[in-house]
Amino acid sequence: MGNQPSNDVESAPKGPIEEWIDKIASVPGVKAVIITDPEGLPLRDTFATWEAGWMLQYATLCSQFVKRAKVAVTTFDNNDELNLVRIRSKKDEVLVALDKDYILIVIQSIGLTKTDVPITIYF
């Protein structure tokens, strides 16, 4: 896991997933992007190698949070489902978008300047 999305061969052409991650990561204010499987196992990320501990912590905690949030949503309405969770602290905002096969986690700074635009995620 490095600054760029994980890839076995550095010189290999980027696939659509890596290009998509790079596009999200290039948005002003975005600190990192993680894609996990539904259980929270990281598949791709933009964390530096020395930040692997943080990446694993975000992936684990976000996937656990999402599992509980899914239960809450279906408890309120059995025909509804969770799509997006936005967690905001004083320092950062974590966006967790859900798909049947993946979880997308985006960590962004909330200290945006007038020219920065917060990211919005759609599946």
Q: Which residues pair with 36 in a beta bridge?
A: 42, 103
Q: For the segment 82-101, what is each residue's pLDDT rounded down to a tens digit?
A: 999 999 988 899 999 999 89
Query: Minimal CA–CA distance to 105: which of 90, 91, 116, 92?
Result: 92
Q: For the segment 31-63, what is each residue's pLDDT rounded down to a tens digit?
A: 999 999 999 999 999 988 888 889 999 999 999
Within a domain: 4: no
Within a domain: 70: yes
- How many domains does the structure of the chain reveal? 1
Mean pLDDT of 60-74: 93
Q: What global pTM score does this model have?
A: 0.76
Which structural domain range is residue 93 located in?
16-109
Within a domain: 39: yes
Looking at residue 21, its amino acid is I
Length of the chain in residues, anyone?
123
Tell me how far apart the alpha carbons of residues 121 and 63 are, in angstroms, rounded to a whole number: 17
Within a domain: 64: yes
With a cut of 80, say whether residue 117 has pLDDT above it: no
CATH number at residue 57: 3.30.450.30
